[in-house]
Amino acid sequence: MNLLATESFSSCSSSSVDDDFLIRNILLTHDPDGRHLDSELLLRATENIMCYATTLD
């Protein structure tokens, strides 16, 4: 995964500036402990949930 890529995950994605800020914040606060997590999958799932939750009327 390219951590500096600005491709969007879905049509409800935030702007690339927001994405860049979030990625930089995660990288600055990340404290590696040897475990591996598919963060792209987790972020896509979270974004899809938030998109679905905000489009419900």
Please count the other Cβ atoms lying within 10 Å of the Cβ belonging to residue 8: 13
pLDDT of residue 49: 94
| 25: DSSP letter | H
Backbone angles phi, psi at 4, to 5 degrees: -100, 0
User: Taking the model in full, what pTM does it have?
Assistant: 0.39
> pLDDT: is 42 or 9 the higher one?
42
Q: What is the pLDDT of residues 4-34, one digit of tens each?
A: 444 444 555 557 888 899 999 988 998 888 8
Beta carbons of 53 and 34 less than 8 angstroms apart: no
